[in-house]
Amino acid sequence: MSGPRVMCVGLACVDIISVCKNYPEEDSDQRVLDFYWQKGGNASNTSSVLSLLGAQSEYMGSFANDNEMRFLKEDFDSFGVSTSHCVTYNTGYITPTSVIIVNSQNGSRTILHASKNLPEITLDDFKAVNLKNYKWIHFEGRPSFNTPAYEIVCML
């Protein structure tokens, strides 16, 4: 019997977004129209949306131990998304972050992604998950940094 929960495994990052009147000139100085932080990453976004749709949703991924991670954790909590199987790396790791420049003229997004050293979760981390409690699990994985993600969905 498969359980009631759904899990998304993959990236959570902080998107730091500046909405600009025009795309900036190099070495120039301008005020932005809007500025905000947002939780980003495909698996993290999907797990929040699934919770809004009424699923018992969980996100699994690696966490650094920094303020950006606490921002992400608070956002997951606010959507009722469990993070109980996330693995926290304590010292010397940083949360993946994207600085995003939005051009308000046409909505173009220029993304500067910083993924410095936070490891992906491992098979051993995943062995702590009791599969009986889940009905499907969505994996987003990469062979290494800076390579495209693969998506796999397991129905249990």
Ligand X SMILES: *[C@@H]1O[C@H](CO)[C@@H](O)[C@H](O)[C@H]1NC(C)=O
Chain residues in the site for ligand X (CB under 6 A): 23, 39, 42, 45, 48-49, 103, 105-106, 108, 149, 151
- Output 149 or 154, the one with its CB closest to ligand X: 149
Smallest separation (angstroms) from ligand X to the CB of 107: 7
Task: Give the shortest CB-118-to-ligand X separation in angstroms.
Answer: 18
Residue with Cβ nearer ligand X (70 or 132): 70
Distance CA 79, CA 96 (A): 21
Query: Which C-beta is closer to ligand X: that of 3 or that of 151?
Result: 151
Q: Which residues contact 76 (CB under 8 A, 6 or more apart)?
A: 12, 39, 44, 47, 48, 59, 82, 83
* Closer by beta carbon to ligand X, 39 or else 73: 39
What gap in Å lies between CA 70 and CA 57, rounded to an integer?
A: 19
Half-sphere exposure of 76 (CA within 13 A, CB side): 30
* Distance of closest approach, residue 90 Cβ to ligand X, in angstroms: 27
Residues 6+ apart with CB under 8 A from 119: 62, 89, 93
d(CA 103, CA 47): 28
| Minimum CB distance to ligand X smaller for 12 or for 118 | 12
Query: Residue type for 84, please?
Result: S
Residue 92 CB, shortest distance to ligand X, in Å, is: 28
Least distance CB 44 / ligand X (angstroms):
8
